[in-house]
Structure 1
């Protein structure tokens, strides 16, 4: 049985202030966290300095494995570059190890040829910025049909084409992997696994949304256990990071007990 390690994405408990979120992770025995730049009224959007974030993580004995995320990274422009530089600087200053890169997800940029060209341009521009700061770029294909980067194969090919194997890694998101229907895993390029489950079996795959994503348990329909087993068998040795988006999780009065239950389930079944 593999020795699983876990991480906690702030989306698991987005209403918690950063210090309370860090305390939750530490209380669960989790040593790695992902912070976000899309939580209104919370760090990073509330103006919390990277020095304060770094100090809080150190106080709780945590490693910040990523900032999540540079959105629309493959729609490269002067504005996107400025946003990337700001997030990379923040990541470096707070001692985050990586920056998650999320593609545009609005139905545009999906044409064959166009999407590959846009992806290559973004990776080429991001590589020197990330390398200078010593930050990994975590490319996260999304399984939604409207997304401009659904395929991990396309992402992997682009990473290799720009000589970016030392700069970029893939995020294997169990939800998006299920939606994309792409069987290949690319464990050798995987830098992080995001885990969440779906328990409503009556929803068609094409109709699944972030709001359906709960903690992983016995009722999961996404095949989390099978996906994780396969990735570990193929050589993945990093953390499994909880990233549920459903309000039923966000509104839990006792998230610690629920997350601990999911950890126990995965340790028993993977």
Structure 2
């Protein structure tokens, strides 16, 4: 999967249409002309939470002609405990069996584990343990720093340094999330280390950047405050050639009667703006 220097390759995360069952979600992707999807382990009454076997989901994806790019996500991955290890193994087994290429890794986001020194050590400990789990299953780990002020991993640079420190460059990549990149205020891009880009927009003019949360995240349109098009352009120009996956959390998007039309409009807008 690659992209020309000027145009992105889009994908879709199941959070965009959480009420669609997997088969319908995969068909939506196909309708949109997309080859890649992200499935999640946090959608109530939906796979993976409802216990649907990985083989069944894999067969549905293959029937629709789509690839499962990731499972989203192992939460609190940088708080390594016996419980986290069990979760990681269970999720990695599912990812392998469903045919996913990678497991998204989301850090602790509750105000704990933020102290300088502590957070770097926690991150290295978790990556060291995860490296073995992922390697033995042929999976990549996509580390996703979150821009929220209470997050234990806000900086992509810090994540990149930890990946280097544990010898994990072939096993771990970064998720560049346009929402979190804007919130974190970290100017640097890491295109060569980036494995996935999550895209969503914020249009609400009443909310300050520090107050932005997942429910504000809509599809990218002409009123986007996050500079999605500029971020996408910068990544492409700097050599990133992976997926740009729609990840809107706003209820107004998730409840849309005609998601295909809205997502198509957003894709067209981005392509037009990129020229």
TM-score normalized by the length of structure 1 = 0.99
Aligned match of 1:128 in 129, 132, 146?
132
Indicate which of 153, 160, 163 corresponds to 2:164.
Answer: 160
Partner of 1:82: 86
- SS of match in other structure, 2:76: coil
Where do residues 83-232 of structure 1 align in structure 2 (5 Å cutoff)? 83-232=87-236
Match of 2:65 in 1: 61
Q: CA RMSD in A?
A: 0.7
Q: Tell me what 1:35 maps to.
A: 39
Alpha-carbon distance in structure 2 between the residues aligned to 1:201 and 1:112: 34
Establish whether residue 256 from structure 1 lines up as the match of residue 256 from structure 2.
no
CA distance in 1, matches of 2:7, 2:108: 35
Q: Which has the higher contact order (CA 8 A, sep 6+)?
A: 2
Answering whether residue 30 of structure 2 is matched by residue 26 of structure 1, we say yes
Q: Shift in Å at residue 200 of structure 1?
A: 1.2
Per the alignment, residue 52 of structure 2 pairs with 48
**1:203 to partner: Cα distance:** 1.2
Q: Could you list the runs of 5+ residues in structure 2 that have no partner in the other structure?
A: none
| Displacement of 1:202 | 2.5
CA distance in 2 between counterparts of 1:154 and 1:148 reads: 11
Q: Post-superposition, which runs of at least 4 consecutive aligned residues in structure 1 deviate over 3 A?
A: none
- Provide structure 1 residue ranges, at least 5 long, that are not aligned to the other structure: none
Three-state SS of the structure 2 residue aligned to 1:105 is coil
Q: 1:175 & 1:201 partners in 2: Cα distance? A: 15
Say if 2:14 is the partner of 1:10. Answer: yes
What is the aligned residue count?
A: 270
